[in-house]
Amino acid sequence: MNITHTPQKPITTRRFCAIDLENLALQPAVSPGAGRHIAYLLQDIFHLKPEDLAVVAGGPHNAFAIDAASKVLRGQSIWRGGHNGADLALIEALDRIPSPTISSPTKPVNEVIIGSGDGIFTSVVNRLQNRGLVVTCVAYSRALHPALALAANRVIRLDQFTPIQQAA
């Protein structure tokens, strides 16, 4: 009996990055240059790869900055106005990560990176963990809600990488 072995593709895990640009900039108005700076900083910290998924969100008044950051991260731009508009858009994107994307045999998503310190993300962190995902939160210490810090598997404080005034 001849048994042939089909070579298997190596498994490459991916990450899903959800970035609240205004939160990471520590201000409501973000320039395109500041958006790119934040995106490059996140690329350097996390060693993001082309296959990683990214969504960058903010208010409509920051559309150019959101677009600049999402181009660096090769991701999707979302802008939504209103109270917590960007946060709610990111939460919807996180809740809609398809199960086949998480369990893909060749490129599964195994980690979610939330670029925000807003406490509104605490409940979505728990839902993502219940789906088997590791959740990393990245934010400046002064913008990091204590409940979010406790809920996340890992917290990275941007203070250690860049002075606060450079983020704006």
Residue 37 scores a pLDDT above 80: yes
Residue 37, domain extent:
18-167
Domain presence at residue 76: yes
Domain presence at residue 9: no
Domain presence at residue 23: yes
Of residues 70 and 162, the one with the higher pLDDT is: 70
Q: How many domains does the chain fold into?
A: 1
Sheet containing strand 76-79, edge to edge, reads 76-79, 53-58, 14-20, 109-115, 134-139, 154-157
Domain presence at residue 8: no
| Side-chain-side CA neighbours of residue 26 (13 Å) | 16
Domain presence at residue 12: no
Contact between 21 and 66 (Cβ < 8 Å): yes
Mean per-residue pLDDT, 102-115? 93
* pLDDT tens figures, 44-74: 999 999 999 999 999 999 999 999 999 999 9
* pLDDT tens figures, 131-151: 999 999 999 999 999 999 999
Domain presence at residue 96: yes
Domain presence at residue 2: no
pLDDT of residue 106: 87
What CATH number is given to the structural domain containing 113? 3.40.50.1010
Domain presence at residue 5: no
Lowest mean pLDDT: which of 1-15, 114-128, 134-148? Answer: 1-15
